[in-house]
Amino acid sequence: MKLAYWMYSGPAHIGTLRVATSFQNVHAIMHAPLGDDYFNVMRSMLERKRDFTPVTASVVDRHVLARGSQEKVIENIKRKDKEETPDLVILTPTCTSSILQEDLQNFVNRASQNTEADVLLADVNHYRVNELQAADRTLEQIVKFYIEKFEKENSIKKIKTSNPSVNILGPCNLSFHLQHDIAELKRLLKDLGIQVNCIIPEGASINDLKLIPQAWFNIVPYREVGLATAKLLQNVYNMPYTKICPIGVIDTANFIHEIEEILANFNYQKNFQDYIDIQTRFVSQSAWFSRSIDCQNLCGKTAVVFGDSTHASAITKILSKEMGVHVLLSGTYCKHDEIWFKKSVSDHCDNVLITDDHNLIANMIASLEPSAIFGTQMERHIGKRLNIPCGVISAPVHIQNFPLSYRPFLCYEGSNQIADLIYNSFTLGMEDHLLEIFGGHDTTQIGIEQFYNHQKDGLTWNDEAKNELNRTPGFVRNKIKRSIEKFATKNNINIITLEVMYNAKELGET
């Protein structure tokens, strides 16, 4: 048992559901008790999705415990097949079904004999993998299932496109700034004269999977989801894939060079150097920003970075290589990616931390006292407690990190966004610091003193009433106090008691 109240990555089934619901016309059925369909709320709230989340639960209740869930699961699969006519139904195990140890694969086999849809059992173990690993595996599992199926049908398109083209692997819903990143990546590829063949799974239909091998190579924008699929496709179709994530001007350039190399192996010679130069110097503002006086002031400032492995490593490198910020600590909660993470950041920070214990990070931040933090929502709140500014650079995030406006993290526009984020975090910290030195804002003080000194002649509050008043939220307390005193004066009452308060509330206008 582990005492915990915060986790960086969710349970395995969330990863499976993220991948399943990113496809078009794929329905997931969770084998879970009532209340476990919380994923629907997250997708509907955080991403403000306009359509019903294609996830239903096959509810595990007492009857299921007594009789087994066989008939129920099969019935639910058949029902969804009729109601929604999906291409694929994914039966998703949860922690509960893991313990029940029913033969879910058998249910899937039986159900699929009576359905138009294909039926798959997500091959994830709740106790062995987390959300991100499960998403990676589920995507690989679906792609594998369909390329095998389509190979048998001979319906797969194997002839490469005449112009260079790519598949983008891994983008799925509830990812950090995903929609903006895809748009930015597409823009870059268009500039490079490369067409996008498929994006999988976000927005893809099952039939799109037939087209996979006609792309020249694959792009995996984030390490967390899509790598397994990229490796599978390398083995099966000998498709190369990119290993660099284009975050920050340096790594965007490296990413473009990586593409250059892959294209060269197809005997397609391209030189993108001029493009990189112009983008870096004139389109992106971030490289110029690094040169500017503003950024000079950031030199040697200290920071702590924490997040998923893709974002934490990228931001660490931007801070240290592009902005001259001293990264005291760089860490990730992706424990399964420890080796890669260490290798990629160890030259750019003093210490590397691999953990999913938020208390440990809080303690490290408290003892290192950086001038800014770049992390998840949890680090933002740690920063609030310690009065250290924080820029949010990675999931898990709140609704405010699903912005309506264009906020990519990838490629050249992404580098501008990140520069703003970094600069704003540090200057805010500076501003606070200066205010403190010069005595702070004094307006809040004025309000408070007025509140406590404000005492109508001949009016007293008894203790009970005072306590009750103190329990009201601070921002309305003054208003409530005034209106109760008004009521008391009007009714010639000298001592304000609980009774007076309630009468005031009922008869007065509070």
Partner 1 sequence: MLKTPNLNKSSTKFECETGNYHTFCPISCVAWLYQKIEDSFFLVIGTKTCGYFLQNALGVMIFAEPRYAMAELEEADISAHLSDYLELKRLCNLIKKDRNPSVIFWIGTCTTEIIKMDLEGIAPKLEAELGIPIIVARANGLDYAFTQGEDTVLSSLVNSNNIKTKQLNINNQIPKQNLILFGSIPNNVVNELTFELKNFGVDVYGWLPAQRYTEIPLIKENDFVCGINPYLSRTATTLMRRVKCNLIGAPFPIGPDGTRAWIEKICSVFNKETPLLKEKEQNCWKKLSPYLSIIKGKSVFFMGDNLLEISLARFLIRAGMIVYEIGVPYLDKRYQGAELLLLERTCLELNVFLPLIVEKPDNYNQLERIKDLHPDLVITGMAHANPLEARGINTKWSVEFTFSQIHGFNNSKNILDLICRPLSRKTNLQSLGWENYSAHA
Which residues are tagged catalytic? 294
Q: Between 134 and 182, whose beta carbon lies closer to partner 1? A: 134
Region near partner 1 per CB under 8 A, out of 38-46, 140-148, 265-273, 481-489: 38-46
Q: Between 9 and 279, whose beta carbon lies closer to partner 1? A: 9
Q: Indicate whether 65 belongs to the interface with partner 1 (CB under 8 A).
A: yes
Q: Indicate whether 14 belongs to the interface with partner 1 (CB under 8 A).
A: yes
Q: Between 435 and 498, whose beta carbon lies closer to partner 1? A: 498
Q: Is 307 annotated as a binding residue?
A: no
Q: Indicate whether 4 belongs to the interface with partner 1 (CB under 8 A).
A: yes
- Cα–Cα dist 225/218, whole Å: 13
> Taking each helix axis from N to C terminus, what angle separates 411-437 and 178-191, rounded to the nearest 10 degrees?
130
Q: Which of 434, 446, 495, 498 binds partner 1 (CB under 8 A)?
A: 498
Q: Between 291 and 471, whose beta carbon lies closer to partner 1? A: 471
Q: Is 478 exposed, middle or buried (0-12, 13-18, 19+ CB in 10 A)?
A: middle
Q: State the minimum distance, in angstroms, from the CB of residue 73 to partner 1.
A: 13
Q: Indicate whether 99 belongs to the interface with partner 1 (CB under 8 A).
A: yes
- Cα–Cα dist 437/171, whole Å: 46
Q: Indicate whether 66 belongs to the interface with partner 1 (CB under 8 A).
A: no
Q: Is 203 annotated as a binding residue?
A: no
Q: Which of 215, 183, 181, 175 is nearest to 196 (CA)?
A: 215
Q: Which of 23, 36, 143, 323 binds partner 1 (CB under 8 A)?
A: 36
Q: Indicate whether 497 belongs to the interface with partner 1 (CB under 8 A).
A: no
| Contacting partner 1 within 335-394 (CB under 8 A) | 378, 381, 384
Q: State the minimum distance, in angstroms, from the CB of residue 250 to partner 1.
A: 34
- Cα–Cα dist 398/403, whole Å: 10
| Contacting partner 1 within 115-154 (CB under 8 A) | 126-128, 130
Measured from the Cβ of residue 466, the count of other Cβ atoms closer than 10 Å reads 13
The half-sphere exposure of 363 on its side-chain side, counting CA atoms within 13 A, is 6
Q: Indicate whether 466 belongs to the interface with partner 1 (CB under 8 A).
A: no
Q: Indicate whether 495 belongs to the interface with partner 1 (CB under 8 A).
A: no
Q: Indicate whether 486 belongs to the interface with partner 1 (CB under 8 A).
A: no
Instruction: Please give, one letter per residue, the 3-state secondary structure of 190-235.
Output: HHCCCEEEEEECCCCCHHHHHHHHHCCEEECCCCCCCHHHHHHHHH
| Contacting partner 1 within 40-59 (CB under 8 A) | 40-42, 44-45, 48-53, 56-57, 59
Provide the β-strand partners of residue 306: 331
Provide CB contacts within 8 A for 379, sequence distance 6+. Answer: 304, 306, 361, 365, 373, 390, 392
DSSP 231-293: HHHHHHH---B------SHHHHHHHHHHHHHHHHHTT-----HHHHHHIIIII-SHHHHHHSH
Q: Between 102 and 337, whose beta carbon lies closer to partner 1? A: 102
- Cα–Cα dist 495/388, whole Å: 46
Q: Which of 70, 87, 100, 192 binds partner 1 (CB under 8 A)?
A: 100
Q: Between 102 and 118, whose beta carbon lies closer to partner 1? A: 102
Q: State the minimum distance, in angstroms, from the CB of residue 459 to partner 1.
A: 21
Q: State the minimum distance, in angstroms, from the CB of residue 457 to partner 1.
A: 28
Cβ–Cβ under 8 Å, residues 510 and 480: yes
Cβ–Cβ under 8 Å, residues 251 and 414: no
Q: Which of 82, 158, 343, 398 binds partner 1 (CB under 8 A)?
A: 398
DSSP 96-141: HHHHHT--HHHHHHHHHTT-SSEEEE----TTT--HHHHHHHHHHH
Q: Indicate whether 451 belongs to the interface with partner 1 (CB under 8 A).
A: no
- Cα–Cα dist 206/59, whole Å: 27
Q: Collapsing DSSP states into helix, strand and coil, what is residue 59? A: strand
Q: Is 15 annotated as a binding residue?
A: no
Q: Which residues are annotated as a binding site for [4Fe-4S] cluster?
A: 36
Site residues for partner 1 per CB under 8 A: 1-7, 10-11, 13-14, 32-38, 40-42, 44-45, 48-53, 56-57, 59-62, 65, 83, 94-96, 98-100, 126-128, 130, 378, 381, 384, 398, 468, 471-472, 498-499, 502, 505-506
